[in-house]
């Protein structure tokens, strides 16, 4: 299995609080992605990174920010969590020269009450 970990694996938080999810990889892959998965919507891209300090928005980026200060870490921050951000969050990594074959982390289940 690709070396990808996510932390925390489960979190319950209250509306309005800030939350940071961490994705850590040991594969030295250039590309890292944050997705959310909700019933009926499949996987939707929140943000992605194509290198250290290089990030771009996905299709559902409102209310989320990201940072990548090291190759191995990609952080997703919810500045002020809302109930609509209750979801399962997956991190993924890939390499462009492998035509975007992606490997996923185990996921973080976030509940905003």
Partner 1 sequence: EDKVVQSPLSLVVHEGDTVTLNCSYEVTNFRSLLWYKQEKKAPTFLFMLTSSGIEKKSGRLSSILDKKELSSILNITATQTGDSAIYLCAVGRNRDDKIIFGKGTRLHILP
- CB 33, min distance to partner 1, A: 7
Q: Give yes or no for a contact between 23 and 75, defined as CB atoms under 8 angstroms apart.
A: yes
- Cβ count near 2 (within 10 Å): 15
Give 45 or 75: the residue with its C-beta nearer to partner 1: 45
- CB 75, min distance to partner 1, A: 19
Phi and psi, residue 82, nearest 5°: -125, 160
Give 70 or 98: the residue with its C-beta nearer to partner 1: 98
Site residues (vs partner 1, CB under 8 A): 31, 33, 35, 40-45, 48, 50, 56, 58, 90, 94, 96, 98-107
Phi and psi, residue 84, nearest 5°: -70, -10
């Amino acid at each position: 299995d690709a070396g990808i970990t996510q932390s925390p694996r489960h979190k319950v938080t209250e509306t309005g609080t800030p939350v940071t999810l961490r994705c850590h990889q040991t594969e030295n892959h250039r590309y890292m992605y944050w997705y959310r998965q909700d019933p009926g919507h499949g996987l939707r891209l929140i943000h992605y990174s194509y290198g250290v300090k290089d990030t771009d928005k996905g299709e559902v980026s409102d209310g989320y920010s990201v940072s990548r200060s090291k190759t191995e870490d990609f952080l997703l921050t919810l500045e002020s969590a809302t109930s609509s951000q209750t979801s399962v969050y997956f991190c993924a990594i890939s390499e462009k020269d492998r035509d975007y074959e992606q490997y996923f982390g185990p996921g973080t289940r976030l509940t905003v009450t």
